[in-house]
């Protein structure tokens, strides 16, 4: 986003009017412009009065600055009869670097990757026509959708992966992909892994 106040105001006005029209609400663009200008002035004034602490400040100065900002935010909320809610940010797990696999585990992982490649390979010569879903390009579109959903859940820690540590998400993801590979045997007619 730009730092020019006029461009910033115009961007907010344009998007607010657009969102209102999409929601079926008729709004006066001039009234929206005045409201956005007031909101941006308030936000700029608050930022100017309460600058963020310097990046390399010592711990005591950071604590004082944090307390000052916290007090300013509470005061700002109280002036507007608002209540301040805090939501703790989740801690991010560091990715676990596993030792390289060998033997049967490595063969199983390679077989799983080959099967995933087969599942996610578009059918040869197949192109999308206007209005067609992306999934129609694959032999097993439901399996492709499941792979994408599990990939998103694993990487973001959402859906059925909420609240799990990185190691647990990794185990759950691997098991889910193995189940998808097992179900793909019916599509491709060959087992992906033979023990």
Q: What ranges do the domains of the chain cover?
A: 5-79, 104-188
User: Per residue in 12-39, pLDDT tens?
Assistant: 788 888 877 877 777 788 888 888 788 8
Q: What is the pLDDT of residue 189?
A: 85
Q: Under a CB-based contact definition with an 8 Å cutoff, are residues 135 and 145 in contact? A: yes
Query: Any idea which residue has 């995933």 for tokens?
Result: 116
User: Per residue in 54-89, pLDDT tens?
Assistant: 665 567 777 787 788 888 888 877 887 777 666 665
Taking the model in full, what pTM does it have?
Answer: 0.48
Count of C-beta atoms within a 10 Å radius of residue 114: 13
If one compares 133 and 143, the residue with the highest pLDDT of the two is: 143
Q: What is the pLDDT of residue 10?
A: 82
């Amino acid at each position: 986003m730009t730092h020019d106040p006029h461009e910033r105001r115009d961007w907010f006005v344009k998007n607010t009017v657009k969102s209102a029209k999409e929601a079926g609400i008729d709004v006066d663009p001039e009234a929206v412009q005045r409201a956005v200008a007031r909101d941006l002035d308030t936000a700029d004034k608050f930022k100017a009065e309460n600058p963020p602490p310097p990046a390399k400040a010592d711990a005591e100065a950071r604590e004082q600055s944090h307390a000052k900002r916290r007090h300013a935010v509470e005061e700002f909320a109280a002036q507007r009869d608002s209540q301040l809610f805090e939501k703790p940010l989740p801690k991010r797990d560091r990715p676990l670097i596993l030792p390289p696999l060998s033997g049967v585990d490595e063969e199983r992982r390679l077989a799983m990757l080959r099967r995933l490649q087969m599942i996610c390979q578009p059918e040869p010569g197949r192109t999308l026509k206007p209005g067609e879903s992306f999934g129609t390009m694959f032999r097993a579109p439901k399996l492709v959708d499941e792979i994408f959903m599990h990939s998103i859940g694993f990487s973001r820690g959402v859906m059925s992966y909420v609240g799990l540590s990185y190691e647990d998400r990794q185990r759950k993801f691997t098991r889910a992909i193995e189940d998808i590979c097992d179900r793909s045997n019916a599509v491709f007619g060959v087992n992906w892994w033979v023990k």
